[in-house]
Amino acid sequence: MQMLLNFNATIIEQLTYDFQMMRSKAIADRMRILCWICTSATTQHSKAMHVKATWGRRCDKLVFISEVEDNELPAVKVRSFGSKDGLWVKTIQAFKYIYNEFGNDYDWFLKADDDTYVIMENLRKLLLPYKPQDPEYLGMHMKDIAPQGYATGAAYVLSQEALKRLVTKAFEAKSAECPMLTNLIYEDVLLAQCLNMVGVYPGETRDSNGHYRFFHFDVETYVIGNMTAIGDWYWVRVKWPHNEEHDHRTKHPIAFHHMSPDQIYLMEYFLYNFNIYGVKDLQVVEETTKKDVLLFTERQ
């Protein structure tokens, strides 16, 4: 009897794993995502190269933007002041370059820092209900400063329509609400102001339990860190306050920020190169319903 149970369990695990692979591929085939990574002369080889070696491979197109050209990475050079003060200018030039070169070739445009880790499969699942023809702007929603709030600059994604409005309308307006030059260093806030003036507002990205899927800090802080040490700025600006205990975690995280290279490679290993003996995908085994498995088997 035990042997029979083990055999049946193995079949179910394989079916659920195969179903997940089929579902993930089906989702990936339905959308094209360009990822552009904001890097710099001082971090192109200390940080950006690790994005290229890990999660960046799962983007449909990966573009590094810097103030200096780098043929090895490679990185595209755009006009910038080469410091945090010039980040907004770099961001403007980057989005103009992305739109002019690739605006019609991709559905979604992810911007991330070179110390960010993104789980692309979870991002694709989030984007599935949305249409790239609609003005969508998604990330970790913070309140205040910008009229409708803003998505933190660690990682946010724009739809094709949002990118078009940003470059062809907001940037072209050259208004005080969307300045081309400014002393403000908060590029994520300035971007939200520009998008706001053309009718693009931060969207809902929390999971069904109200947990954030984009996270502003590294994975260690997310899992075991003391969030009281973060500082008042976070708790004042976070759109939907949450407690500091473990129940704020989502099972489907999308992005982590301030990740060291070691943390990036640890994430890569445990997510994509780590197996539990006899279980192909523990989470899918837990969550996939019998109906899902039956639907999958009927298609074979």
* 153-171 b/e (C-beta count within 10 Å ≥ 16 → b): bbbbbbbbbbbbbbbebbb
Strands 75-77 and 61-66: parallel
**In CATH, which of 3.40.190.10, 3.40.50.450, 2.70.98.10, 3.90.550.10 is domain 23-299?**
3.90.550.10
For 128: left if phi > 0, alpha if psi spans -120 to 50, otherwise beta; the answer is alpha
pLDDT score recorded for residue 76: 95
Whether 291 shows a pLDDT value over 50: the answer reads no
| pLDDT (average), residues 219-243 | 75
pLDDT score recorded for residue 221: 85
Structure tokens at 8: 């049946």
Whether 290 shows a pLDDT value over 70: the answer reads no
pLDDT tens-digit readout, 187-216: 999 999 999 999 999 999 999 988 889 998
Q: CA-to-CA distance for 214 and 109, rounded, in angstroms? A: 16
